[in-house]
Chains A and B, each alone.
Chain A
Amino acid sequence: MRRVLSVLAGLMAAAWSWEAYKAAGNPEGTVLFGVRVLPRADDLSMPHLWTIVQRLAGPETTGGRPVWLVVLDACLFTLGVTAAGFAAGSVVGLILAAAMQRFRIVERGLLPYVILSQTVPLVALAPLIAGWGGTLMPAWATVAVIAAYLAFFPVAVGMLRGLQSPSASGVELMRSYAAGWWRTLVKLRLPAALPYLFPALRLAGAAAVVGAVVGEISTGTRGGIGRLIIEYSREATSDPAKVYTAMLGAALLGLLVAGAVSLLELPLMRHRRHVEVVTL
């Protein structure tokens, strides 16, 4: 209950500061030494919240479906893509982490590339992966691949730290029981890794959303919120509120995924103490 209230309060504060800036800010923006330090507050750049709400209720184009329904549909599509990417990325991340924990040589050989993988710009990657659409997999799945590509990284790195976290005495105890690698993994390492895993999953959830939205924008894949953002932003000149409806949708999607991921940990983390975790 308190959580819900605090979320609502946060939303109210955000809405209030938007309108407050509109009221107090310079409509032409604030320019210091030729650099714009504060954005314009006029209706073209920052439409009133009620204009955006009105736009949500209005039809997309004459006679079309209402905007809120279109945005919701797009969010659901992207949610599906994000979920697929998140699941695939997490599984890949977990497998990589286990392999790196098991074989030191794999860790040495692979970890630099895992880190390197995140420095490859999506701009270069997206068109390549988009090319798989329609032949290897449906178009939406290529976006899920991009989401998974961003999502696997925090899981792999975080989980590796977690699997390596048990103390030497714990590991030695397991060895004295003649427990093999698998049994040690299940009985000792996995439980110990949970506090590392969940923050990693939260990062992965956020990364999957970003990956899905950016992937859609980049490859122009139809149906999702990313595609809607670029399509609506083309109308920014004549219908500025419309862009914000799509952005609201994207923000909502991010919150939803973050919430869903934190729900994952409820059953597993109830009696565990939270540990300060720094990934990487």
Chain B
Amino acid sequence: MKISRILLASVLALTACGTADTPTTPAPGAGGALTPVKVQLQWVYQAQFAGYMAARDQGYYSEQGLDVSLLEGGVDIVPQTALAQGRADYAIAWVPKALASREQGAGITDVGQIFARSGTYQVAWKDSGITKAADLAGKKVGNWGFGNEYELFAGMTKAGIDPGKDVTLVQQQFDMQALLKREIDAAQAMSYNEYAQLLEAKNPATGQLYTADDFAVIDWKTEGSSMLQDAVWANTEKLGDPAYQQQTVKFLTATIKGWAFCRDNAEKCRDLVVASGSKLGRSHQLWQMNEVNKLIWPAAGAGIGVIDEAAWKQTVDISMTTKNQTGDTVLTKAPEGLAYTNDYINQAIAQARAAGVDVTGTAFRPVTVTLAEGGS
């Protein structure tokens, strides 16, 4: 089923090449044998990965001579580890977590910072009066732990709160029930997922769905403690090999096209995510697609995926200085070696631009998504 879909997509792509609307590099081996490439995602198919899925299903990868299989994640699958151990050719991972793995010996390099912005929120009830990090003092603050909590801790530290003393820290589950039941005053949430779940839940008092007016959102981007998230990581050692370098550029070029497609066709990308067997509903996926687009577009500067030095530095600084509740920092020292490079993404951007792709998306305007109950 899936294989036939991929075949169909590649056939379509090949015929598209035949009509020559884009001057792409011909597939290696004139026979058109595609190079198999495995990409490890952080989680199961959802709009967070729509750009890669679109690049696959729209045939952008096969245009580049790549047969990309996207490996879904699970509870114990760590993408950067899968990459370092050779179980995948590329991995999608958050920068701080990947840097921590690097420090422990994983030979990986950030070759494309797809999400330029962080999507982490701390959400509180509006009536709690919490609107900024400083207001968290004395409150029960939920956090996910496992390395997902550092933006929150950095934000509190920056606002003059000692996370160890001034707040009650509560280990939060990956749903938002604790906030809804007011067990905690503020909960961690991703703009594209958990926050939407709040807006899909019914308020038992009114029988209506909760609205954005019921909640106050602390956005770590405005608090200045945000860290870089989804990036494409490559195997550092293999980057010495010209064939892998070339493949990386091709992979990134097609990935850029995929994300540009999802920017311009949010609903189509929602449909292909839903068709791929996502259990989350249609309105939830469209919300997620739209929020993810906001984290990428408009892509300031050279275009999508280019690592911004200031944002990188902020991520590394927070990783080295901010302590979580157990007193650990993400990193003990500055990353050594080739932690990131813009070499490949810049080539990919040039190629995508030459093929007529809008790589900055300056005209991007998010849509307004209405969530249905349960996200359906």
Contact = CB atoms under 8 A, between A and B. Distances in A.
Interface of A: 40, 42-45, 60-62, 122-123, 126-127, 130-131, 134, 216-222, 227-228, 230-240, 242
Interface string B64-76: 0000010111111
A237 B85 contact: no
B194 to A, nearest CB: 8
Nearest to A243: B175
Contacts of B72: 220, 222
B376 A61 contact: yes
B238 to A, nearest CB: 17
A233 B197 CA distance: 12
A275 B249 CA distance: 68
A128 B87 CA distance: 9
Interface stretch (B276-284, B293-301, B310-318): B276-284
B175 A233 contact: yes
Task: From A44, A220, A222, name the one whose CB has the most chain B CB atoms within 10 angstroms.
Answer: A220
Task: From B76, B201, B282, name the one whose CB has the most chain A CB atoms within 10 angstroms.
Answer: B76
Contacts of B87: 130-131
A220 B201 contact: no
A220 B44 contact: yes
Contact of A62 (B181, B193, B194, B376): B376
Among all A-B residue pairs, the 4 with the closest Cβ atoms: A220-B74, A231-B279, A238-B200, A131-B87
B374 A239 contact: yes
Given A44-B177, A61-B376, A62-B372, A238 B197 contact: yes
Nearest to A62: B376
A221 B73 CA distance: 8
B82 A235 contact: no
B77 A234 contact: no
Contacts of B194: 237
Contact of A127 (B44, B77, B202, B373): B77
Given A131-B87, A237-B180, A218 B75 contact: yes
A61 B75 CA distance: 23
Given A235-B197, A237-B177, A220 B279 contact: no
B75 A238 contact: no
A231 B85 CA distance: 27
A62 B282 contact: yes
B76 A127 contact: yes
B277 A235 contact: no
Given A61-B376, A238-B200, A239-B374, A220 B75 contact: yes
B51 interface: no
B112 interface: no
Contacts of A236: 175, 177
Interface string B149-180: 00000000000000000000000001111001
Given A62-B376, A219-B76, A239-B374, A134 B176 contact: no
A61 B74 contact: no
Nearest to A217: B75
B73 to A, nearest CB: 5
